[in-house]
Amino acid sequence: MGNAAKRASLYMILLGLWSGSAGLVFASPGEMPEDAQAQADGFLQRYCSRCHNEERFAGYWALVDVDLHAIARGEQLEAWEKILRMTRDGDMPPPLRKKQPSPDDRAQFAAWLQGQLDGYSARHPHPGHSALRRLNRAEYANAVRDLLGVDLVEASSLPADDSGYGFDNIADVLTVSSTLMDRYFAVAGRVSRLALGVDPAAPARTGYQVPKDGSILNQGVPSFNERSSGALPIDSRGGGAFEYYAPHAGYYELAGFLNANTNNEVDRLPENRYAQQIWLDAGPHTLGMSFRRELGLDESVQTLRNTTDIVPMPVASPALTTLDFVVDGARVASANVPTFHESPRFAQKNFLRDVLQIEVEGPLPTPDLEATRAASARELPSREAILRCRPGRGARAEQRCAKRILRPLLRRAYRRPATAEDLASIMKVFTAARAQSDFDEAIATAVQALLVAPRFLFVVEDTPPGLAPGTPHRVTDTEFATRLALFLWSSGPDDELLSLAQRQRLRRPRILRAQVARMLDDERAAALTENFAGQWLFLRNLDYHRADVEAYPDFDVRLRAAMREETERFFAAVVREDRSLLDFLKADYSFLNERLATHYGLEGVYGPAFRRVALPATAQRGGLLGQASLLTLTSYGNHTSVVRRGQWILDALLAAPPPPAPPDVPALVAERSGRALTARQQLELHRAKPACASCHVKMDPLGLALEGFDAIGASRSEFAGQAIDLRASLPDGTTFEGLPGLQTVLLARRDQFLRAFTEQLMIYALGRGIQPQDRPTIRAIAADAAADGYRAQQVLLGIINSYAFNHRRSPES
Amino acid sequence: MKRPRPLSRRGVLRGAGVTLALPWLPSLAGASTNTHTAPRPPQRLSIFYLPNGMRMDSFRPARTGTGFELPPILQPLAPLRERINVVTGLAHANAQPLGDPGGAHGRSCASFLTGAHPKPTEGSDLRCGVSMDQVAAAHLGTDTAFDSLQLGIEPSSLLGSCDIGFSCTYTNTLSWRSPTQALPVMVSPREVFERLFGDAAAVDPASRARLFDRRRSILDFVIGDAARLGGSLAASDRHKLEEYLTAVRDVEQRVQRLAGQDLRWVSEEITLPPGIPADFATHVALMIDLQVLALQTGLTRVATFMLGRELSNRAYPEIGVPDAHHSLSHHGGDPTKVAKLVKISRFHIAQLVYLLRKLQDTRDGEGTLLDSTIVLAGASLGEPNDHDCMDLPALVAGGGLPGDRHLALPRHTPMSNLMLTLLQRLGAPVDTFGDSTGTLQQLDAAEAGRGLA
């Protein structure tokens, strides 16, 4: 039974149930019996017409504009979906109004209306609009990595993609500009040469800026006595490490600029540059520099706060300390450096010595560099993987070998078996390049061409011949494999997926389930966290967040990175371990390192490494809303925002975003009679204005319950000298208190949350916005998952099995 | 699943601040229930600095209001006059000596965007004021990869060519993050490019030629592939493919243009690092392209651009002025010298036109990038022969402002008032700036009548 048919029958059953429980009688779907319509009309007249009439025109619509019969014609679906959402979730009629339907009436109306909408959708399956989709930069970088077997493209080195519907993988929005092509050409050229080891051995310099801050006011938490990276020796402190791809074996100069210990830690002084020559084999490495961790610090830290004008001088001369040069986790060289920099004007010693910037330059010219290059290139794993043969003598042997090399690359790059035409066309590039360069370079040029080819850059889906324009049809198995890989990996399908697809086996339910499990288990599934969760939860914004250092001296890039990592690991665990999605709302575990645990006031977590931590009931953490990342990114730099937090919850967790604030919104009054007002008092004044009240009654209580967390997500009990009151009440009169109370409120709306989550994931999976015809699907997927313990992978599979994910419409013209 | 590596590549790079911001996209705002998308395009600021003052006789329109005749220096602006506001009557009182010796250029340049009186020193104890672009950056740049960009044409460390008694820093940059921290200007397109996008490119003619040859065969390949693909696509998708082909051809043209060029060009007067085009206009265009690119892609919302360092002694043989600019600016009334000076300024204004056009031709949301970018062009001196800092030239365009106006302000209106007005337009929460005494009602007053563009 096809998906559509299965869905349709499911709807029939559900419709039957609804009509039974709602006491409404149906002749057949699509035909509306008089009394059912009369009841629905009566409901709308009774509860909606008072405001949604032509006179008052609340929300810019009147009841006379909509027609229940339109649903059967596939019209006004969006309006009716909205009416359904509002009435079902209790947002309409406004909770403050006296005249409210009884819960039974409300449920009956919602069930009946939903039945109408679901019924239409079941009878008219619609794959939605699908456009030629360009790989976005993350997908491009991953696809290149998986094609060449070496991770050389950093997505952020490509121009940012536009985003729509909250995500940057929306087909309609991903355009191609000359800037983009410039970058793709450049990146493709560099990557193909590096992967094949055919780059000229010219020395090049690469710089890495160590993430470090907190020094602007000579305060903050210099985490200088912490091991700054897992790639550095375990007894190290400070410094940093970064990934570097050595194009050739040879000697490289590894150099670091140390801090100048001035009041402004940005100087890169030549006298603070320390360099050593190190040997690197060709290929990827982790390079770093760090100091030795001191258990009893003998480098003093001056805690005096300075201004730019008052610069205290050091009282003693600097001692010497050891600076280590680290390659792939091992100390390969060291230098003795003074514990602080002395200069006639700036010298002070506010901070321990640390590394601000690391540079690597090479390979350094040596007499036999070319020979070394040729020898070392042969050992590159990526090169070995690509060059499946060595050409024999003669042009024909070379052509044969080139074809053997390029055919599998074409298949992976184009995400379908290579045709004779494909091969002939890329062989022309090879042949032209071969006329000017050696075999390997000519292959590199052909690879570069593949990486800018339209069939690589665009996700091409073919229309079966003879199909009338606008006809829905099932995408091929290989096309489906690509959709799947883009969804879960943000990359192209691997050989296993392609092979199953070519044999028409991928969509067999058991095989598909196993493949999805395999894919989620794979390291590449990190893309789902980074790209989906990063955008769904606005986590990406955290990277740009700068808390006010004066108000929050604890906030620095390390803490910020730890915040993000907690949420990413948490999200990944829920998906990978197929846990309940309700963990997002409330959970008794999280992922912490020492820094973050300390931030949360939790003891017993040591070191910079993250691990799963069981949260005690008293922790007042757990779930997304107890995580510092979200509490921080919904705050301003120097204070919390009840409104932003409330709005974030409505938007991201409940898909019920409040309308944008009116243009003439009055600012909050921060003090009265010289006394600072709490957020609660400020908002009470604000809500007293009728224009503000209607939205703020929804947002404010959610945010108020989180006032126990400050603007960087640390616990607090008072603000402006007053104890914080965490009690809040919803428009319907429900009262609750603090994070646990909020969690109870949200769990009561668990189905709404699940639909919201499914909707977000669906947008991401389909690479397009949600259309009203998708909503019945979203409801069905969410309902299935709810019936199955809210399990995360149930939603993923629901989307993967959905009609829209498996079908497309033939082009209109 | 394999354990994630303790330090991810992404994590490392994220720390290095290279993650990019997402640009605003209009057609989708409000199109869904999802409100991730900002409701309006971000406002941006672009400062365009003209070195060595301005011959005001040839800059100031004879009439005020609209429809005035464009004076010689401003004539290149004719096609864009609908977007341009000429503002005269401005002054930087703090650029006057106020008892300090010499150094008119050092002082004027330092005060240009700060409204502050810089401390005369050649040492490291610099002191000026926070510059206007940095005030804007603090407001607009909190969620962009770079809170601001400082771009220029001439390399900064030209020892011995700075103003007497003033550190070179004062004439090298306009941007001051704090009264003691001046921000360096990037002048190499490659540096800017690598800063923005991180990649190295070949600079010598031989590598460029190879690059070009390689790309030509790739071009043939992708065009052929696209043609085969095109037949099976829907009209809207074919449009996308067209877009792709246009972009591919653009790349090709650019490579072709730069293919034979030796970017290791070394002039006799100054040493330029590799990657700086020898030709002034080409260099300027590249830097403007990069600036617009950075604004367009949301990498930054604030950029300053110095067409030359203050005190620049660049010669412009390509327009028939082989004389050093700064020397010419002290023309002593010599009509030949004045004519040449005006010629340079005109040429400079033509570069501004390139920027404005580029902004206007770049879509941003429902309008153009120019609609969401305030461009302020100006010099830190009026009549250069007199080092006059009390009658300064300014041009304001874009950012939703009407144009075709000459606003002749009362004499000695603080330049800081204009800065403050623009900052407030950008939404920066400031009510004073530099030595401001108020805002320029005139900029807003005309709006009521004409409406926002």
CA dihedral B306, B312, B315, B318 (to 10 degrees): 10
Which residues in chain A are contacts of B293 at CB distance < 8 A? Answer: 159, 179
Q: Which of B2, B9, B20, B142 to mutate to test the interface with A (most CBs of A within 10 A)?
A: B20
State the pLDDT at residue B27: 28
- Cα of B440 to nearest chain A Cα, Å: 22
Cα(A196)–Cα(A150) distance, integer angstroms = 10
Cα(A127)–Cα(A363) distance, integer angstroms = 54
- B245-255: pLDDT as tens digits: 887 876 676 55
Secondary structure element (H or E) that encloses residue B45, with its range? strand B44-50
The SS3 of residue B412 is strand
Nearest CB among B34, B213, B293 relative to A166 is that of: B34
Which residues in chain A are contacts of B222 at CB distance < 8 A? Answer: 449, 452-454
- A22-53: pLDDT as tens digits: 333 333 444 456 677 888 888 998 898 888 88
Nearest CB among A164, A181, A308 relative to B25 is that of: A164
- A250-283: pLDDT as tens digits: 889 999 988 766 544 545 677 889 999 999 988 8
Cβ–Cβ gap B218/A242 under 8 Å: no
State the pLDDT at residue A422: 94
- Band (pLDDT 50/70/90 cuts) for residue B32 is very low
Cβ–Cβ gap A428/B217 under 8 Å: yes
Cβ–Cβ gap B34/A187 under 8 Å: no
Terminal C-alpha separation, chain A: 31
The SS3 of residue B239 is helix
Report pTM.
Answer: 0.70
Contacts of A144-147 with CB under 8 Å at 24 or more apart are A144/A187, A144/A188, A144/A191, A144/A451, A145/A491, A146/A412, A146/A491, A146/A492, A146/A494, A146/A524, A147/A409, A147/A412, A147/A413, A147/A450, A147/A451, A147/A492
- Cα of A207 to nearest chain B Cα, Å: 10
State the pLDDT at residue B303: 96
Total CB pairs under 8 A between chain A and B: 248
Mean pLDDT, chain A, as a whole number?
A: 83
Cα(B397)–Cα(B394) distance, integer angstroms = 10
State the pLDDT at residue A150: 84
State the pLDDT at residue B203: 46
pLDDT exceeds 90 at position B296? no
**Least confidently predicted of A65-74, A137-146, A480-489, B126-135:** A65-74
- Band (pLDDT 50/70/90 cuts) for residue A484 is very high
- Band (pLDDT 50/70/90 cuts) for residue B208 is low
State the pLDDT at residue B451: 34
Say which residue, B37 or B405, is predicted with more confidence. B405
Q: Which of A452, A634, A635 to mutate to test the interface with B (most CBs of B within 10 A)?
A: A452
State the pLDDT at residue A313: 58
Mapped to the 3 state alphabet, what secondary structure does A203-236 carry?
CEEEEEECCCCCCCCCCCCCHHHCECCCCCCCCE
Quick one: average pLDDT of A56-62?
81
- A768-800: pLDDT as tens digits: 888 888 999 999 999 999 999 999 999 999 999
Which residues in chain B are contacts of A543 at CB distance < 8 A? Answer: 14, 19
Q: Which of A60, A136, A429, A570 to mutate to test the interface with B (most CBs of B within 10 A)?
A: A429
pLDDT exceeds 80 at position B200? no
pLDDT exceeds 60 at position A349? no
- Band (pLDDT 50/70/90 cuts) for residue B270 is very low
Cβ–Cβ gap B218/A165 under 8 Å: no
Angle between helices A495-502 and A395-414 (to 10 degrees): 80
Cα(A765)–Cα(A777) distance, integer angstroms = 14
Cα(A724)–Cα(B282) distance, integer angstroms = 61
Q: Do residues A68 and A38 touch, judged by C-beta distance below 8 A?
A: no
Q: Name the E strands within B294-372.
A: 302-306, 315-316, 321-324, 363-364, 367-368
Give B38's DSSP letter: -
Compute and round to an integer the Cα radius of gyration of chain A: 31
Cβ–Cβ gap A561/B11 under 8 Å: yes
State the pLDDT at residue A370: 63
Give B186's DSSP letter: B
State the pLDDT at residue B11: 30
- Cα of A243 to nearest chain B Cα, Å: 6
Q: Do residues A715 and A620 touch, judged by C-beta distance below 8 A?
A: yes
Secondary structure element (H or E) that encloses residue A701, with its range? helix A690-704
Cα(A303)–Cα(B169) distance, integer angstroms = 31
pLDDT exceeds 50 at position A470? yes
- A624-658: pLDDT as tens digits: 999 999 999 898 877 888 988 998 999 899 988 77
Contacts of A409-412 with CB under 8 Å at 24 or more apart are A409/A147, A409/A447, A409/A450, A410/A450, A411/A498, A412/A146, A412/A147, A412/A492, A412/A494, A412/A495, A412/A498
- Cα of B15 to nearest chain A Cα, Å: 5
- Residue A379's nearest CA partner among A304, A283, A286 is A283
Cβ–Cβ contacts within 10 Å for residue A662, how many? 10
Cβ–Cβ gap A160/B220 under 8 Å: no
pLDDT exceeds 60 at position A659? yes
- Cα of B238 to nearest chain A Cα, Å: 9
- B71-117: pLDDT as tens digits: 999 999 999 999 999 999 999 999 998 888 778 888 999 999 999 99
Contacts of B156 (CB under 8 A, 6+ apart): B168, B172, B173, B184, B185, B187, B309
Cβ–Cβ gap B247/A178 under 8 Å: yes
Say which residue, B202 or B276, is predicted with more confidence. B276
Alpha helices (runs of H) in B158-309, residue ranges in sequence order? 168-172, 189-197, 205-230, 235-259, 280-296
CA dihedral B237, B243, B248, B251 (to 10 degrees): -160
Q: Which residue of B has its CA nearest to A178?
A: B247
Contacts of B440 (CB under 8 A, 6+ apart): B87, B407, B409, B413, B417, B418, B421
- A700-724: pLDDT as tens digits: 899 999 999 999 999 998 887 888 8
- B161-190: pLDDT as tens digits: 567 778 778 888 899 988 887 877 887 776
- A561-578: pLDDT as tens digits: 999 999 999 999 999 999
Cα(A351)–Cα(A258) distance, integer angstroms = 11
pLDDT exceeds 50 at position B158? no
- Cα of B193 to nearest chain A Cα, Å: 10
Give A615's DSSP letter: P
Pairing mode of beta strands B44-50, B373-379: parallel
Q: Give percent of chain B above pLDDT 70.
A: 75
Angle between helices A775-787 and A792-800 (to 10 degrees): 140
CA A415 to chain CA centroid, nearest Å: 24
ipTM of the predicted structure? Answer: 0.78
Cβ–Cβ contacts within 10 Å for residue B271, how many? 10
pLDDT exceeds 50 at position B347? yes
- Residue B430's nearest CA partner among B134, B148, B128 is B134
State the pLDDT at residue B3: 35
CA dihedral A593, A594, A596, A599 (to 10 degrees): 160
Q: The tokens of A723 are what? A: 């104890």
Cα(B219)–Cα(A425) distance, integer angstroms = 12
Burial of residue B22 (number of CB atoms within 10 Å: 0-12, 13-18, 19+): buried
Q: Which of B3, B25, B256, B288 to mutate to test the interface with A (most CBs of A within 10 A)?
A: B25
Quick one: average pLDDT of A461-485?
91
- Cα of A479 to nearest chain B Cα, Å: 15
- Band (pLDDT 50/70/90 cuts) for residue A444 is very high
